[in-house]
A and B are shown apart, each in its own frame.
Chain A
Amino acid sequence: MEILVCVKRVPDTAENEISVNSAGNDIDRGDLVYSVNEWDNYAVEEAIQIVDRVGGNMTVVAVGDDESEEVLRREMAMGANDGLLLKDSAFEGSDGKGTASILKAAVQKGKYDLILTGAQAEAGAAQVGGMLAAMLDYPYASLVNKVEVIDDKKLKVGREIEGGNQEINEIELPCVLSIQTGINEPRYVGIRGIRKVASVEIPVMGASDLGLGADTVGTAGAKVKRVDYFVPEMGAGAEMLEGSTEEIIDKLVELLKAKGGLK
Chain B
Amino acid sequence: MGTFLLSFFALLIPVAGIALFIYIVARRLAPLFRAAPDFRFDNIGKRLFGLYEYPHHRMPRPGYELSGYIHITTIICLGVLSLQVITLLLQGISPSFSLPFLDKGIIADGYRMISDLALTVLLGACLLALYRRIILKPERYNVPKSYGKDKTFPDALLSLGLLASLAVLDIVYIASGWRVDAYAGADTHILIPFTGTWITATIFSLFSPTANQVVHVLSFMLLIVLIFGFVCYLPFGRFFHLVTGPPNVFFKKIKKGSVKPVKWGIADDKLDELESFGVKKFEDFTWKHMLDFYTCTDCGRCSDNCPATTVGRPLSPRFISIKGRNYAFSHYPLKGPFIQNEPLMGDVFSDDEIWSCTTCGACEEECPVTIEYIDKIVDLRRGMVDDGNVPQSLQKPLSAIEKRGNPWGKMEKKRGEWTKDLPEGCDVKLFEAGDTAETLYFVDSITSYDDRMISIAQATAKLLCAGGADFGILGKDEKDSGNEVRRFGEEMLFQDLKNHNTEMILESGVKQIVTADPHALNTLKNDYAGLPPVEHISQFLARKIKNSDISLKSVEKPEAVYTYHDPCYLGRHNEIYDAPRDVLDAIPGLRRVEMAKSRDRSFCCSGGGLMLFYEPEEEERMGVLRVKMAAEAGATVMVTACPFCLVNMEDAIKIAGLEGKLEAIDLAELVERHLDK
Residues of A within 8 A of B (CB): 12, 14-17, 31, 33, 35, 78, 185-193, 195, 244-245
Taking A33-B409, A192-B271 as given, write out 17 further A-B residue pairs in contact, using a Cβ cutoff of 8 Å, ordered by the A residue number.
A14-B400, A15-B399, A15-B404, A35-B403, A186-B395, A187-B387, A188-B385, A188-B389, A188-B394, A190-B398, A190-B490, A190-B492, A191-B402, A191-B496, A192-B277, A192-B491, A245-B452
With a cutoff of 8 Å between Cβ atoms, the chain B residues found around residue A188 in the complex are 385, 388-390, 394-395, 398
Q: Which residue of B lies closest to A195 (CB)?
A: B272
With a cutoff of 8 Å between Cβ atoms, the chain B residues found around residue A244 in the complex are 451
> Closest 3 CB pairs between A and B?
A15-B409, A187-B388, A188-B390
A15 to B394, CA, bound (A): 14
Interface residues of B in 444-496 (CB under 8 A from A): 451-452, 490-493, 496
With a cutoff of 8 Å between Cβ atoms, the chain A residues found around residue B491 in the complex are 192
* Secondary structure call for the B interface: helix
A189 to B398, CA, bound (A): 10
A245 to B647, CA, bound (A): 14
With a cutoff of 8 Å between Cβ atoms, the chain B residues found around residue A245 in the complex are 451-452
Interchain nearest-CB distance for B367 vs A (Å): 31
Contact between B392 and A185 (Cβ–Cβ < 8 Å)? yes
Is B396 part of the contact surface with A, judged by Cβ < 8 Å? Answer: yes
Contact of B396 among A14, A187, A192 (CB under 8 A): A14
Contact between A191 and B390 (Cβ–Cβ < 8 Å)? no
A244 to B493, CA, bound (A): 33
Contact between A191 and B492 (Cβ–Cβ < 8 Å)? yes
Is B594 part of the contact surface with A, judged by Cβ < 8 Å? Answer: no
Interchain nearest-CB distance for A201 vs B (Å): 19
Contact between B388 and A192 (Cβ–Cβ < 8 Å)? no
Contact between B411 and A191 (Cβ–Cβ < 8 Å)? no
Contact between B396 and A193 (Cβ–Cβ < 8 Å)? no
A190 to B394, CA, bound (A): 12
With a cutoff of 8 Å between Cβ atoms, the chain A residues found around residue B411 in the complex are 17, 31
Interchain nearest-CB distance for A52 vs B (Å): 12
Interchain nearest-CB distance for A7 vs B (Å): 16
Interchain nearest-CB distance for A116 vs B (Å): 19
Given contacts A14-B396, A15-B409, contact A190 B389 (CB under 8 A): no
Interchain nearest-CB distance for B3 vs A (Å): 71
Contact between B386 and A192 (Cβ–Cβ < 8 Å)? yes
Chain B contributes a number of interface residues (CB within 8 A of A) equal to 29
A192 to B409, CA, bound (A): 21
With a cutoff of 8 Å between Cβ atoms, the chain B residues found around residue A17 in the complex are 411
With a cutoff of 8 Å between Cβ atoms, the chain B residues found around residue A33 in the complex are 403-404, 409
Interchain nearest-CB distance for B343 vs A (Å): 15
A12 to B271, CA, bound (A): 29
Contact between B388 and A14 (Cβ–Cβ < 8 Å)? no
Q: Which of A12, A16, A185, A192 has the most CB of B within 10 A?
A: A192
Q: List 9 A-B contacts (CB under 8 A).
A: A14-B396, A14-B409, A15-B399, A33-B409, A186-B392, A190-B490, A192-B386, A192-B491, A245-B452
With a cutoff of 8 Å between Cβ atoms, the chain B residues found around residue A15 in the complex are 399-400, 403-404, 409
Chain B 631-662 against A: per-residue CB contact (8 Å), 1 yes, 0 no? 00000000000000000000000000000000
With a cutoff of 8 Å between Cβ atoms, the chain B residues found around residue A193 in the complex are 386, 388
Interchain nearest-CB distance for B350 vs A (Å): 15
A189 to B387, CA, bound (A): 9
Q: Which residue of A lies closest to B412 (CB)?
A: A31
Contact of A12 among B409, B413, B452, B496 (CB under 8 A): B409
Contact between B404 and A192 (Cβ–Cβ < 8 Å)? no
Contact between B398 and A16 (Cβ–Cβ < 8 Å)? no
Contact between B389 and A187 (Cβ–Cβ < 8 Å)? yes
With a cutoff of 8 Å between Cβ atoms, the chain A residues found around residue B272 in the complex are 192, 195
Q: Which residue of A lies closest to B392 (CB)?
A: A185
With a cutoff of 8 Å between Cβ atoms, the chain B residues found around residue A31 in the complex are 411, 413
A16 to B414, CA, bound (A): 12
Given contacts A15-B403, A33-B404, A35-B403, contact A191 B388 (CB under 8 A): no
With a cutoff of 8 Å between Cβ atoms, the chain A residues found around residue B388 in the complex are 78, 187-190, 193
Given contacts A15-B409, A31-B413, A245-B451, contact A190 B493 (CB under 8 A): yes
With a cutoff of 8 Å between Cβ atoms, the chain A residues found around residue B413 in the complex are 31
A14 to B397, CA, bound (A): 10
A33 to B386, CA, bound (A): 24
Interchain nearest-CB distance for A60 vs B (Å): 16
Given contacts A15-B403, A35-B403, A244-B451, contact A190 B409 (CB under 8 A): no
Chain B 265-309 against A: per-residue CB contact (8 Å), 1 yes, 0 no? 000000110000100000000000000000000000000000000
With a cutoff of 8 Å between Cβ atoms, the chain B residues found around residue A187 in the complex are 387-390
A14 to B387, CA, bound (A): 25
Interchain nearest-CB distance for B521 vs A (Å): 25
Q: Which of B390, B396, B399, B491 has the most CB of A within 10 A?
A: B399
With a cutoff of 8 Å between Cβ atoms, the chain A residues found around residue B452 in the complex are 245
Contact of A35 among B271, B399, B496 (CB under 8 A): B399
Interchain nearest-CB distance for A70 vs B (Å): 11
Interchain nearest-CB distance for B328 vs A (Å): 29
Interchain nearest-CB distance for B487 vs A (Å): 15
Interchain nearest-CB distance for B522 vs A (Å): 22
Interchain nearest-CB distance for B256 vs A (Å): 27
Q: Which residue of A lies closest to B272 (CB)?
A: A195
A152 to B483, CA, bound (A): 49
Q: Which residue of B lies closest to A244 (CB)?
A: B451
A244 to B450, CA, bound (A): 11
A193 to B411, CA, bound (A): 25
With a cutoff of 8 Å between Cβ atoms, the chain A residues found around residue B496 in the complex are 191
A78 to B395, CA, bound (A): 13
Q: Which residue of B lies closest to A31 (CB)?
A: B411
Interchain nearest-CB distance for B458 vs A (Å): 14
With a cutoff of 8 Å between Cβ atoms, the chain B residues found around residue A35 in the complex are 399, 403
With a cutoff of 8 Å between Cβ atoms, the chain B residues found around residue A192 in the complex are 271-272, 277, 386, 491-492
Q: Which residue of B lies closest to A78 (CB)?
A: B388
A17 to B413, CA, bound (A): 12
Interface residues of B in 475-531 (CB under 8 A from A): 490-493, 496
Given contacts A16-B409, A31-B411, contact A190 B400 (CB under 8 A): no
Q: Which residue of A lies closest to B403 (CB)?
A: A33
